[in-house]
Amino acid sequence: MTCGGSGGLDELSRTLRQLREAAGPGRKMTLTEAAELAGEGFSTPKLSRIERGLTVPDTDDVAALTRVYRADPATARHLRELASGAKAAHRRIILGRGPDRSAFQRRLGAIERSSERIREFSPVIIPGLLQTAEYIRAVFASTGAAPEQVSAAVQARLGRTRLRSRRPGHPGDPQRR
């Protein structure tokens, strides 16, 4: 079986489902059977989330599944590439709580600079790229961090806000004024 299509997570999840359904002995292989054959680390709910595009599998998971489904080498390689690309495109970032918040802010800034699209939602706090210096200071000071750590984190986060002015069409874009 070869896979065509536009690529990405949709193609990956759809093709894995098609391969599973075609791999059964004279009938569709069930999610439960596939999870059992794939071994440790696999469950019926996990496979269901992968096939619905809710979970991005890593390349090792895809390799295990393509072995179980007896996919041809070209399809298996293509699906591993799709998984690798989907993982990179769907990075989730969890806030750092360590003592050096400035290092975390710099790391986050590097991720943001390399990102094509940034989406953030918080019902409680203003997103980091939109925060003012005073707001940032209040956020970091509320955690009980030492004043020098707060200052370093504020400066690092302010460095991230410069990213706004480099995005074409963004309110901070000089071309838009």
| pLDDT number for residue 4 | 39
N-to-C CA span, the chain: 53
Asked if the model's pLDDT at residue 96 lies above 80, the reply is: no
| pLDDT number for residue 164 | 65
Domain boundaries, the chain: 8-89, 101-171
pLDDT single digits (tens) 5-52? 445 788 999 999 999 999 977 889 999 999 999 999 999 999 999 999
Domain 8-89 has CATH 2.60.40.1840: no
Candidates 86, 56, 82, 75; CA nearest to 18 is 75
pTM reported for the whole predicted model: 0.53
Q: What is the mean pLDDT of residues 158-177?
A: 58
Please name the helix (run of DSSP H) or strand (run of DSSP E) that holds residue 165, with its range, or none. helix 163-166
Q: What is the Cα–Cα distance from 153 to 135, expressed in whole angstroms?
A: 12
CB 75 within 8 Å of CB 2: yes
Average pLDDT of the residues of the chain: 81
| pLDDT number for residue 130 | 83
Q: Which amino acid is at 160?
A: R
Evaluated on CA atoms 84, 48, 4, 76, the torsion sign reads positive
Q: Indicate the DSSP class of residue 30.
A: P
Q: What is the mean pLDDT of residues 133-143?
A: 87
Q: 77 or 101, which is more confident? A: 77
| pLDDT number for residue 54 | 86
